[in-house]
């Protein structure tokens, strides 16, 4: 999920290269991830523990946000597993309230206004993941959530932005290398994982290709792209340079309306806007199997060569619309002002998110 507004400025957090490493490095560890599937793969989530004694909750490890927030017993509207701060001897109430609104949500439906909004209360507590333990982690308790979050099988979100904050900053301060890797798989494959502090070379083939984040980027996993092609074809519009955000907490793809429609024009004239859900597009489900829809997005590697990350034709449909099950929603939603790729791309590429060297790496999954 990609957050667009946080009304509270966070203080006292460590960013990227400003962290001093301890002399003894922590070894990389894997975190198994479960797949939330509803028509398509929506989210991948894993376990963390909070408090003393530890209370286990599940979170999405979300590269589109930066903070840790999860359901709590202070939230009557939350139907997920809740953290109870009264049971933790290390919990400290921060006493501040805030809200956060997301521009992409849990599923593939478009975000309208503030339909993905959380009300939060600041705190600190001990947080554990993959055998690591970090004290005094800045976090937020969810005290209210909009109904759109009610389908979530997980309790919260662990932000994994391009500047180390909170839990990950604490791990880096203890000596964990300042990178992580994601192996996000389709439900049929399974065994998805997050690798903290390293790279799992058993999950990909060939060499990793690295691209540098723009020097002026602000904690967002974003890479400039010189162009997009569809089934090997492109246009002047699609060949325009655009900055594309990589968001592990978004299930599909968002582009501006003109880019979205230029891509669909190469796939089928029968892909049209779906009136009941502005920003979405669809086509008769029985036409999907016959369509070629390989979407390739170009990027420039650190050594200067151009490489492509391709979303295969199998990702074209994200499932039927609820109001008409004969029509399938297609993977790209129109959202002017935002160019973003999520699970539709990431589950076909092993990805390395290197905070210390401000770069991203990709290789084809096995």
Residues taking part in catalysis: 62, 247
Q: For residue 48, what are its two tokens?
A: 């963390």
Q: Give dist(CA 20, CA 173) in Å, integer.
A: 6
- Per-residue burial over 114-139, b = 16 or more CB atoms within 10 Å of its CB, e = otherwise: eebbbbbbbbbbbbbbbebebeebbb
Q: Give dist(CA 22, CA 135) in Å, integer.
A: 16
Cis before 53 (ω within 30): yes
Three-point CA angle 51, 57, 59, nearest 5°: 120
Q: 256-262: list long-range contacts, CB under 8 Å, 24+ apart.
A: 256/334, 256/335, 256/336, 256/337, 256/338, 256/339, 257/334, 257/336, 259/228, 259/339, 260/332, 260/333, 260/334, 261/334, 262/235, 262/237, 262/238
- Write the DSSP symbol of residue 83: B
Q: Give dist(CA 355, CA 14) in Å, integer.
A: 12
Q: For residue 61, what are its two tokens?
A: 């490890």
Tokens 């004290």 found at? 135
């Amino acid at each position: 999920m990609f957050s667009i507004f946080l009304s509270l400025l966070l203080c006292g957090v460590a960013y990227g290269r400003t962290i001093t490493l301890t002399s003894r490095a922590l070894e990389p560890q894997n975190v198994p991830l479960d797949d939330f599937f509803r028509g398509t793969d929506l989210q991948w989530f894993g376990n963390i523990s909070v408090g003393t004694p530890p209370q286990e909750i599940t979170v999405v490890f979300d590269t589109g946000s930066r903070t840790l927030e999860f359901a709590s017993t202070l939230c009557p509207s939350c139907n997920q597993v809740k953290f109870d701060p009264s049971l933790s001897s290390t919990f400290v109430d921060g006493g501040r309230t805030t809200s956060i609104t997301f521009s992409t949500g849990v599923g593939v439906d478009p975000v309208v206004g503030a339909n993905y909004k959380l009300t939060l209360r600041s705190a600190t507590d001990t947080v554990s993941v993959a055998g690591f333990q970090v004290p005094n982690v800045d976090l937020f308790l969810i005290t209210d959530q909009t109904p759109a979050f009610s389908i979530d099988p997980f309790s919260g979100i662990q932000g994994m932005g391009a500047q180390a904050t909170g839990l990950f900053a604490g791990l880096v301060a203890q000596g964990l290398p300042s990178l992580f890797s994601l192996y996000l798989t389709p439900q049929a494959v399974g065994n998805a994982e997050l690798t903290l502090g390293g790279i799992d070379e058993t999950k990909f083939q060939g060499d990793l290709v690295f691209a540098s984040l723009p020097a002026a980027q602000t904690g967002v996993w974003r890479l400039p792209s010189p162009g997009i092609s569809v089934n090997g074809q492109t246009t002047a519009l699609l060949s325009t340079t655009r900055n594309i955000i990589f968001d592990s907490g978004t299930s599909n793809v968002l582009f501006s309306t003109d880019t979205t429609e230029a891509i669909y024009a190469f796939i089928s004239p029968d892909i049209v806007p779906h009136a009941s859900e502005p920003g979405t597009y669809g086509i008769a489900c029985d036409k999907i199997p016959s369509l070629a829809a390989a979407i390739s997005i170009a990027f420039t590697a650190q050594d200067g060569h151009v490489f492509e990350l391709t979303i295969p034709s199998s990702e074209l449909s994200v499932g039927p619309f609820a109001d008409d099950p004969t029509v399938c929603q297609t993977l790209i939603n129109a959202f002017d002002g935002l160019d973003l790729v999520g699970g539709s791309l990431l589950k076909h590429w092993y990805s390395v998110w290197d905070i210390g060297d401000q770069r991203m790496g990709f290789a084809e999954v096995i």
